[in-house]
């Protein structure tokens, strides 16, 4: 090819590094289908299910023949069994997201979960257990104890005594 070449991630091919060649390639049906196929992996299963249920079945594709429009087709390429499987996947995903959101609500009000505190609910009562035997650096700060230590401290007295004695 000579010179530098451009690699299309969607189509897995090398092109001449020329703006006109890239424009023609990016506007082609093969590139659009490859890009749609790649981007479809990141879509929500519920959204894909809703879109596919609205479409009529593609007679050509479901009869075993080739549909040149692939993902750009105005008809659905999913059969009934595949739609049911997609519905189950979407349902499982929604349940797991609901569980995650309920676990987040069990964390502290400011959204920070402290690693030394186990929270949960038992009989609709919020429980909070502390993990025992943590190193001092990971233990939660007891502000009551700290304020008592600060008020009862004799900071600086030792140095003053030492300075007066010398």
pLDDT tens for each residue of 79-124: 899 999 999 999 999 988 888 776 665 554 555 555 555 555 555 5
- Residue 127's SS3 state is strand
Stretch 20-37: mean pLDDT: 91
Q: Is the pLDDT of residue 10 over 80?
A: yes
Which of 19, 102, 74, 108 is closest to 4 using CA atoms?
19
Q: Using CA atoms, how far apart are residues 64 and 53, in angstroms rounded to an integer?
A: 20
Q: Does residue 31 have a pLDDT over 70? A: yes
Tokens of 84: 């049911």
The answer to whether the beta carbons of residues 81 and 57 sit under 8 Å apart is: no
Q: Which long-range contacts (CB under 8 A, 24 or more apart) does 142-150 make?
A: none
Greater model confidence, 49 or 101 = 49
pLDDT digits (tens, 9 = 90+) for 121-141: 555 555 455 556 767 777 777
CB distance 119 to 134 below 8 Å? no
pLDDT at 145 over 80: no
- How far, in Å, CA of 43 to CA of 54, rounded? 17
List Cα–Cα distances, 121 to 32, 106, 127, in angstroms. Answer: 50, 8, 6
State the pTM of this model.
0.49
């Amino acid at each position: 090819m000579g010179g530098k070449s451009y690699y299309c991630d969607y189509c897995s091919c090398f092109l001449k590094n020329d703006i006109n060649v890239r424009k023609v390639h990016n506007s082609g049906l093969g590139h659009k289908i490859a890009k749609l196929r790649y981007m479809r992996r990141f879509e929500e299963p519920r959204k894909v299910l809703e879109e596919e249920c609205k479409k009529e079945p593609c007679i050509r594709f479901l009869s075993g023949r080739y549909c040149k429009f692939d993902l750009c087709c105005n008809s659905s390429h999913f059969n009934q069994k595949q739609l049911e499987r997609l519905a189950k996947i979407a349902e499982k995903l929604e349940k797991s997201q609901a569980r995650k959101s309920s676990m987040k609500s069990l964390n502290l009000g400011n959204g920070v979960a402290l690693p030394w505190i186990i929270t949960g609910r038992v009989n609709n009562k919020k429980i909070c257990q502390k993990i025992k035997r943590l190193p001092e650096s990971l233990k939660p700060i007891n502000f009551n104890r700290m304020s008592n230590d600060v008020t009862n401290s004799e900071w600086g007295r030792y140095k003053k005594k030492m300075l007066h004695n010398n």
